[in-house]
Amino acid sequence: MKLYGYWRSSAAYRVRITLNLKDIPYETIPVHLVKAGGEQHQKNYVDMNPTHLVPTLEDNGFILNQSIAIIDYLDAKYPQPAVYPSAVQDKALVQALMFDIACEIHPVNNLRVQQYLANELNCSDQDKLRWSHHWMHLGFTAIEAKLSKTAGRYCFGDDITIADICLVPQVYNAKRFNLDMTPYPLINSITNNCNELPAFSQALPENQKDAV
């Protein structure tokens, strides 16, 4: 199994955590998102993933993009430990938390959006930072409120779920953007608890072979 990704990509980070949690052997294939104009735009990669994004998973010739689709694929193929609760309503609550992160916070501050703001809209670095902080604060405020009803040691009780798998990389990203995280004690506590686990610590961006 091969994972094409970038060490600091939040989406690739999610998949690394999942692979580690499930103890699935895999090979990391670095795709540098900035060098040479971005290796994700090179033909050999685009032929495999026309979205020009990471990550991409290759499993014995089967190729899949989109981190949540990849995580769901891995969860179906390697069911233990499961990343969703078994009860229908519990699973729906966890999915909602996951989508709050993956669909509402993450996309608006990823690299290609930042590049568009700078290159096409001539936004200054300060303007880009204000943009990112606005959307992250909006999203984290809602998540903190939800967690007050669901959290234990992790996002949903005391079991790791896909919500944690998505939350930890997003918090890492927020800290890169110098976001003040003090208003979010539950998010901070959950992130610290997750990062005590080898599956999370081994997936940290700075622990990847392409980290610079």
Contact (Cβ atoms closer than 8 angstroms) between residue 55 and residue 11:
yes
Place of tokens 């193929």: 77
The domain of 7 spans 2-81
pLDDT in the model for residue 183 = 98
pLDDT of residue 212: 86
Q: How far apart are CA 26 and CA 18, in angstroms?
A: 11
The whole-number pLDDT of residue 127 equals 92
Measure CA of the first residue to CA of the last residue in the chain; give whole Å. 24
Q: Is 125 part of a structural domain of the chain? A: yes
How many other CB atoms are found less than 10 A from the CB of residue 126? 8
Whether residues 72 and 93 share a domain: the answer is no
Block means of pLDDT (10 residues each) for the chain, 212 residues, are 97 98 98 93 96 97 98 98 98 98 91 89 93 95 98 98 98 96 98 98 97 90
Q: Give the whole-angstrom CA distance, residue 9 versus residue 15.
A: 10
In angstroms, the CA 29 to CA 31 distance is 7
DSSP percent split of the chain into helix, strand, coil, nearest 5: 60, 10, 35
**Quick one: which of 134, 196, 132, 208 has its CA closest to 168?**
196
What is the count of structural domains for the chain? 2
CATH assignment of the domain containing 103:
1.20.1050.10
Query: Dihedral sign, CA of 174, 146, 155, 2?
Result: negative
Asked whether residue 44 falls in the same domain as residue 115, the answer is no
Alpha-carbon distance of 206 to 58, in angstroms, equals: 23
The answer to the question of residue 210 being in a domain is no
Domain of 29, CATH number, reads 3.40.30.10
Distance CA(209)–CA(212), nearest Å, equals 9
Phi, psi of 29, rounded to the nearest 5 degrees: -115, 105
So what's the pLDDT on residue 180?
A: 97
Residues 103, 163: one domain? yes
Length of the chain: 212
Statement to judge: residues 92 and 146 lie in one domain = yes
Q: Residue 45 is which amino acid?
A: Y
**Pick from 57, 81, 105: which residue ends a domain?**
81
Distance in angstroms (rounded) separating the CA atoms of residues 209 and 5 = 11
Q: Give pLDDT, residue 109.
A: 82
What kind and span of H or E run contains 31? none
Residue 184: its H or E element = none
Kindly state whether residues 169 and 92 are assigned to the same domain: yes
